[in-house]
Structure 1
Amino acid sequence: MTIESLLTASAVLDRLVNAGAREVFFCPGSRSAPFVYAAAAVDGTDLRTHVRLDERSAAFHALGAAKATGRPAVVVTTSGTAVGNLMPAAMEADHAEVPLILLTADRPPELRGTGANQTTRQDGIFGSHVRAVVDVVIDPALDPHQITAQVHRAMEPVLAALNDDGARVPGPVHINVALREPLQPALDDAQAGDTQDSDMQDSDMQAAGRNQATTTAVWAPVPVNPSAAVPVAATDLAQTQLSQNRQFSQNGEGHRDPGTYRTVILAGDGAGEAARHLAETLGLPLMAEPSSNARCGTHAIGPYRLLLDTPLGVQIERVLLMGRPTLSRPVGALLARPHVQTAAWQPRAVAWYDEGRRRETVVRTLSEVLDFTGRPPQDWLDAWQRLGAVAQTAINQELDPHLQEHEHAVPAGAAASAREVIPVSNVIPGPVVAREVWAACRRDGSPLVAGSSNPIRDLDLCADPGPAPGRAGQDHQVTVMANRGLAGIDGTVATAAGAALATGQPMRALMGDVTFLHDAGSLTHLVHETQPDLQIVVLDDRGGGIFNTLEHGSLGEQAQWAHTVERFFGTEPAVQIPTLCAAYGVPVQAVTTVEDLHRALEQPPAGVSVVVVAASRAGLRFTNARIKQAVTRAAADLP
């Protein structure tokens, strides 16, 4: 007789592989053991397995894999608190529309509510953050064929949610599977001996005399469905509309002329190449966040967020939004201007806001887009391109001077910590680090995972959309991934590692020290398991630099608030990152000059490594203010 738990696990994995899942991240645990034995038997064929110590980290590894490939990825846990650790990744996957599969082992119904060890209410634990949830409970009286059929029927709601045809919104799903003992393949009688479940034997709580199976189930997966759906993003559908409309041209042939408007396209997170193609076809300025993956070409205006209050910026009459804007208050202010009309191109519903809760008019067809955007004035794009070029030059000139000291940017009366004199030769400003990492990715084509807080905003300021210097004229468009669903710092190392593992591409990640330390545990298995090609660049400014740029930074300059702001927001870590990396067995390099950083970024990533860049929070607000002033002066001098 086949072991029920192993056959159940095999049937579940069989269905997930057939639905397109390839990467499975396991965490150690007893109740989930049947999934281990089923998957290990076919590791490297229909799926690839990875082991991670921490469930929170494993979930973000799976999230990164799914985000990078568009295919569902799986995280497997045992029962109890292990399941709760998946919540942060589930929330991010929900808002970011990532097909993350949360596969949790559970006690059988006869143990639930009895006080059995590691038993809680797992079914429905993720609430509204999952697209579908199933509780797979198998009748122990069924034969093997009936067990497989029951599993397949039970999983239909999840498979329907994963089989995204453009009508559904992609996102996470939860499969909770009740598993009865035995949880492992049968041992020969001579090997069996006495075994004891470290949690609690099912037999302690179940009816006596239940027939325990003795024959191991063997997973023979059904042929993989070659048409297993990869989730379709709303912007993919927009791109399809563009490519299928053969009459669409810069002159709007085949469409009525709706009028002339000063329109810009705002590409938020996940907007995709459709935003760039639309801007180029319509002759409109493109304001693209780094993780929009539209930030390239001659229509993209690099430092756009500093230009929205210039004389040209205040002339904007219409904004077409694609993707989700997440980064800056100037963009939020632009979308809220009473005299500016706004629309959002969304060929299908999206997960990141509730219908009716935003101001933009939703347009779902290309014809509606053309009616909204209209035709730009003759010199509209040219004026933005000139302004963007002089602003980019002003930023580079402001950041490049050598042997300056940060003190010159700090007004008299500022807090002592902000007046600290730090030679530029000993630290590298965050925007410079972002600029150099971006340039390196353009040279060698490495995708980039951008951490939240300051690093992605530094990219938004300094990542030049134009050609970057490279060998033999190489110039790659940079693919940027970022956890902008909820914009948290959680799981960034794991997300980057999962993306690199799933794609097999050399990859870089840029993040601050707090973000890195928050997820440092994800380094645990990156060296001894399958090793991704991942270079992690850490901007080490010794604490929460993002708060220096907010209102808390102003309070921190006042004597009565300085200690409170530093303690609760600055949160300077005691740990030294190079020492920590060495403890994990991860190669690490500390750099203090731009020249050192150039050398560290010279080659594409190979294996796992960390580059720690010395930075400082002192004077950060004033550095940003100085950059804005330089851009304002350059814009004013433009004829």
Structure 2
Amino acid sequence: MNPSAELARAVVTALRGAGVREVVLAPGSRNAPLSFALFDAASQTPGPWPGLRLHTRIDERTGGFLALGLAKVSGRAAAVVCTSGTAVANLLPAVVEAAHAGVPLVVVTADRPARLRGTGANQTTDQDGLFGTFAPTLDVAGADLGQLLAFLRTHDHRRPVHLNVQLDDPLLPDDAWDGGEVPPWAVHATSTAPEATTLDLGPRTVVVAGDDAGPPARQLAEAAGWPLLAEPSSGCRTGDAVIRTYRLLLGTEIGERIERAVVLGHPTLSRPVSRLLARDDVEVVSVRARGMWPGRPHAIASEHEAVRVDGSDDAAWLEEWRAADRSVARQLDRLLAAEPDLTPHEVAGAVSRALPPGGLLFVGASNPIRDLDLMVAPYEVGGRRKVIANRGLAGIDGTTSSAIGAALGRPRSTRALALMGDVTFVHDTTGLVLGPREARPDLTIVVVNDDGGSIFATLEQGDPAYADRFDTLFGTPHGVDVASLCAAMRVPHLAVTSLPELEHALASPNGGIEVVEARVRRDDRRALDAKIRALTP
């Protein structure tokens, strides 16, 4: 057996031993030994071990975010494999998102032999440690399975890692491979729940649940009788303590009376929440978040691994929030219904209502997740709806690819939906490039198309004083014909301009990947947001 084939098979064996079941491959020459080894391993009958599933993408950035979506939805590490040179650099966006979100990702990059580094050899750069602090690197020169397993075991937690594999000629194997034996994984210490700190009752408290906060945030809020201010991707936007319009209420008298905030997950959506947590008169209690920077960007009074309460607080506090929320929610719904054109908020609300128990929703950054935050349907506890987003760095990169990965990684979802803006959709056009042999999930992608970056219209730069340069610098209308783009990708497309049309389209999925384009206005976005904020004094 030639050394490169032996090395590649050792890497694939280590991945399987580490529990990796999903691998995304981008084609190349230098990574050919890895490609052949992956194909052979994926072709074997799993037997007592779960099989390895191989996905191929022509764009490394797309491949990285596909793997990210697969890992994010399952909680199990996925791998992405590419060739040398700029291919490696294209994985950086997915790596930094995974690092900050605490998502397990194994990046496997092919490299030239060390003797060619520092020379003008084709497609050769310094890949060892290229991802810096975002992903520890093992520079692999020999087929030492023990070394590979030890590295992966050492970093067996929620973060990306990098295997940089030196592959020399010849790059083609001499024979087929039967996949080998899957090595037993190290015996892990029994996972136990962290010891919880008991919080005192008394202070007027709210629970702030950011991305990936999980059920503990809801359980705490319901046990204590505290309002739950939960973002859509928190994993706990359910139950009776949830306050739908919390973002609007924080600026009112009831918000000013908050004395303590308990923060779980990674809250990133709302300036009102940021202002709340920065207030000198609010005690902030933090539950440690995932990701490489788990600290909070504001002063905290105390930090804990978990928190609990004994008993319930004064029920009047939560009921005040519920009553105010019901009132503002009714006003918001009336306001949107009176608008002459389809609004982005109505699109978000329709998508939320279309998500059945057991369903999956992947939400893009920018306005869509903020619109959804105001419009999430009241979900019951135990409905097993999974709403996720790339909130580690909250970029628009790779959203379509991550959504497809999430849908592929959760095949038993009763329905898979994605909600994103037009710029986000166009930014990841290659996410729709799937070869004829690739698995295609059932996924309805709803694109809110206002021909540009409308989120900037709601920020300081959207002030009319900057109207003469706004579109050039921020609005960036692109004029993309989404229907034609989808046709080029052979993806079914339907455009809608009204709420009934959208609801009908969402009620009648065709299967496979399909795009529903909801066409909305951008010129009234700033005014519409002002109307919504004016609902609360």
- TM-score, normalized by length of structure 1? 0.79
Which residue identity lines up with residue 124 of structure 2 in the other structure?
Answer: T
The answer to whether 1:85 aligns with 2:22 is no
Match of 1:431 among 339, 342, 345: 345
1:286 aligns with 228
CA distance in 2, matches of 1:360, 1:573: 43
The answer to whether 1:116 aligns with 2:121 is yes
Which residue identity lines up with residue 71 of structure 1 in the other structure?
Answer: R
Q: The residue matched to 1:24 in structure 2 has which SS? A: strand
Match of 1:311 among 237, 242, 253: 253
Change (3 A) 1:553 1:357: closer
Which residue identity lines up with residue 351 of structure 2 in the other structure?
Answer: V
1:584 aligns with 489
Change (3 A) 1:525 1:435: same
2:394 aligns with 487
Change (3 A) 1:53 1:365: closer
Q: The residue matched to 1:400 in structure 2 has which SS? A: helix
Change (3 A) 1:526 1:324: farther
2:181 aligns with 222
1:324 aligns with 266
CA distance in 2, matches of 1:330, 1:526: 45
2:282 aligns with 340
Match of 1:562 among 442, 459, 467: 467
CA distance in 2, matches of 1:284, 1:611: 38
Match of 1:184 among 166, 172, 176: 172
CA distance in 1, matches of 2:190, 2:453: 35
CA distance in 2, matches of 1:370, 1:24: 43
CA drift at 1:159: 2.6
The answer to whether 1:458 aligns with 2:365 is no
Change (3 A) 1:231 1:36: farther
CA drift at 1:109: 1.3
Change (3 A) 1:355 1:323: closer
Q: What is the total number of aligned residue pairs between the two structures?
A: 529
- The structure that has the greater radius of gyration is 1
User: Are the counterparts in 2 of residues 513 and 541 from structure 1 also a CA contact under 8 Å?
Assistant: yes
Which residue identity lines up with residue 135 of structure 1 in the other structure?
Answer: D
Q: The residue matched to 1:50 in structure 2 has which SS? A: strand
Change (3 A) 1:175 1:230: farther
User: Are the counterparts in 2 of residues 19 and 228 from structure 1 also a CA contact under 8 Å?
Assistant: no
CA drift at 1:16: 0.9
Change (3 A) 1:485 1:228: farther
The answer to whether 1:158 aligns with 2:162 is no
CA distance in 1, matches of 2:152, 2:395: 27
User: Are the counterparts in 2 of residues 92 and 486 from structure 1 also a CA contact under 8 Å?
Assistant: yes
Change (3 A) 1:294 1:363: same
CA distance in 1, matches of 2:241, 2:458: 29
CA drift at 1:352: 5.0
CA drift at 1:628: 2.1
Q: The residue matched to 1:455 in structure 2 has which SS? A: helix
What are the within-5 Å matches in structure 2 for residues 365-444 of structure 1?
Answer: 366=306, 369-370=308-309, 376-401=313-338, 404-405=339-340, 424=341, 428-441=342-355, 443=356
Q: Which has the higher strand share?
A: 2
User: Are the counterparts in 1 of residues 18 and 149 from structure 2 also a CA contact under 8 Å?
Assistant: no
Which residue identity lines up with residue 432 of structure 1 in the other structure?
Answer: E
CA distance in 2, matches of 1:590, 1:526: 25
Q: The residue matched to 1:269 in structure 2 has which SS? A: coil
Runs ≥4 in structure 1, deviation > 4 angstroms? 224-232, 354-357
What are the within-5 Å matches in structure 2 for residues 180-219 of structure 1?
Answer: 180-186=168-174, 216=175, 218-219=177-178
CA distance in 1, matches of 2:390, 2:209: 16
2:211 aligns with 269
CA drift at 1:466: 4.8
User: Are the counterparts in 2 of residues 264 and 287 from structure 1 also a CA contact under 8 Å?
Assistant: yes
User: Are the counterparts in 1 of residues 223 and 309 from structure 2 also a CA contact under 8 Å?
Assistant: no
User: Are the counterparts in 2 of residues 392 and 464 from structure 1 also a CA contact under 8 Å?
Assistant: no
Which residue identity lines up with residue 301 of structure 2 in the other structure?
Answer: T
1:193 aligns with none
Identity of aligned residues (%): 42
Which residue identity lines up with residue 161 of structure 1 in the other structure?
Answer: H
Q: Where in structure 2 are there 5+ consecutive unaligned residues?
A: none
User: Are the counterparts in 2 of residues 83 and 122 from structure 1 also a CA contact under 8 Å?
Assistant: yes
- TM-score, normalized by length of structure 2? 0.93
1:135 aligns with 139
Change (3 A) 1:77 1:10: same
Q: The residue matched to 1:116 in structure 2 has which SS? A: coil
What are the within-5 Å matches in structure 2 for residues 522-533 of structure 1?
Answer: 522-525=431-434, 528-533=437-442
The answer to whether 1:572 aligns with 2:486 is no
CA drift at 1:586: 0.5
CA drift at 1:629: 1.8
Change (3 A) 1:136 1:511: same
CA distance in 2, matches of 1:617, 1:538: 14
User: Are the counterparts in 2 of residues 268 and 292 from structure 1 also a CA contact under 8 Å?
Assistant: yes
Q: The residue matched to 1:320 in structure 2 has which SS? A: strand
